[in-house]
A and B are shown apart, each in its own frame.
Chain A
């Protein structure tokens, strides 16, 4: 059976998310209060659209969401998202609930109140902007384990302090290892005596917020 997802609230986010989830082969139901948003959602082929306030039990009933696999609450108000998720969970037996939370201080509270996943868009977006603004040499930072561990790509140019050095000569924080050296189309497994060349891309695995000092030691910025 196809897995089903209900998305409640959210303007542009709802549209982009609905399209993306639809492409992954899920059945998508969207509940939205705004008539204009419903019209643009209605143009996406294959999704069911219900207009109404998703914090009202009868609207959820109309949308026929009983036993849906995942409910995602995207409204801009934390209190509404909490109500949506709690109704979905307790009155409609939705298996997994996901809430967007604006106030980062309430994340733990949402988990304690039985919401399966709480996503804080503000802190996620600001941390990405910060990365992009300050660290131009990094092509990618992938946080795993809730950000405890970072996988980082670092490009080495002619001015990098690490260029033409062997790995053992570089003073890296002990929480950081170089997992891979990308040179042209090749991926080299690094050893202590591997020499870094201009144009290499290093893939780091860093713990405990040590990625910035490691990037400084390697790329100089």
Chain B
């Protein structure tokens, strides 16, 4: 565990569970902007994904272990971001945070869209990579529409 003096009050304390590509990049971003952040992962090698300039805390441990959650100060977190690669783990950690640690804002990644309702019903905000990708692809396709139309139009004119 690397400790660094806190730059801000603990009221802005953010905890991130899961140091994958997404977790690490968000942690870096918060740290760069001077925020107070802690990232937890059960695999110590996962922290390699953090930038060398990362100034927050990184802790090795299991997010489903209540003692671990107490140890990292979950009760002081203003925001929790849960982004492990397992939906069921994300669900349980998020619900523990809401129910036992009264964390105000809990955001979780849900891969299986059909499970989002379970999270939402317990006051957990969610995002789903498939839905986001779909949205973006939709935007890209609709942005291309005029061009497609033009081509069709030109073809139409040529045929005339």
Name A residues whose Cβ lies closer than 8 Å to a Cβ of B: 55-58, 77-80, 82-83, 86-87, 90-91, 103, 105-106, 109, 112-113
> Hey, what's the 0/1 contact readout for B87-121 against A, CB within 8 Å counting as 1?
11101100110011000000000001011011001
B32 lies within 8 A of chain A by Cβ: no
CB distance from B118 to the nearest CB of A (A): 5
Cα-based distance from A1 to B66 in the complex (angstroms): 43
Cα-based distance from A87 to B112 in the complex (angstroms): 13
Instruction: Select which of B92, B99, B122 is within 8 A of A78 by beta carbon.
Output: B92
Instruction: Select which of A55, A80, A113 is within 8 A of B99 by beta carbon.
Output: A113
Residue pair A57, B112 in contact (C-beta under 8 Å):
yes
CB distance from B53 to the nearest CB of A (A): 33
Subset of 24 A-B contacts with CB under 8 Å: A55-B88, A56-B112, A56-B114, A57-B115, A58-B114, A78-B92, A79-B64, A79-B89, A80-B88, A82-B91, A82-B92, A82-B95, A83-B88, A83-B91, A83-B92, A86-B91, A87-B118, A90-B121, A91-B117, A106-B66, A109-B99, A109-B100, A113-B95, A113-B122
Within 8 A of A (CB), among B106-154: 112, 114-115, 117-118, 121-122
Within 8 A of A (CB), among B51-78: 64, 66
Residue pair A77, B88 in contact (C-beta under 8 Å):
yes
Q: A79-B64, A83-B88 are in contact. List 17 more A-B contacts (CB 8 A).
A: A55-B88, A56-B112, A56-B114, A77-B88, A79-B86, A79-B88, A80-B88, A82-B92, A82-B95, A83-B87, A83-B118, A87-B115, A90-B117, A91-B117, A105-B66, A109-B95, A113-B95
Please, which residues of chain A bring their CB within 8 A of the CB of B112? 56-57
Looking at chain B's contact residues, the main secondary structure is helix
A-B contact number at CB 8 A: 49
Task: For A102, give the chain B residue with the smallest CB separation.
Answer: B64
Residue pair A82, B114 in contact (C-beta under 8 Å):
no
Cα-based distance from A106 to B96 in the complex (angstroms): 9
Please, which residues of chain A bring their CB within 8 A of the CB of B115? 57, 83, 87
What are the 7 tightest A-B residue pairs by CB atom distance, in nearest-first order? A57-B114, A79-B92, A79-B88, A83-B88, A79-B89, A86-B118, A80-B88
Please, which residues of chain A bring their CB within 8 A of the CB of B88? 55, 77, 79-80, 82-83
Task: For A91, give the chain B residue with the smallest CB separation.
Answer: B117
Cα-based distance from A106 to B99 in the complex (angstroms): 12
Cα-based distance from A56 to B114 in the complex (angstroms): 8
A90/B89 contact (C-beta < 8 A), A82-B95, A109-B100 known: no
Cα-based distance from A58 to B112 in the complex (angstroms): 10
Please, which residues of chain B bring their CB within 8 A of the CB of A91? 117-118
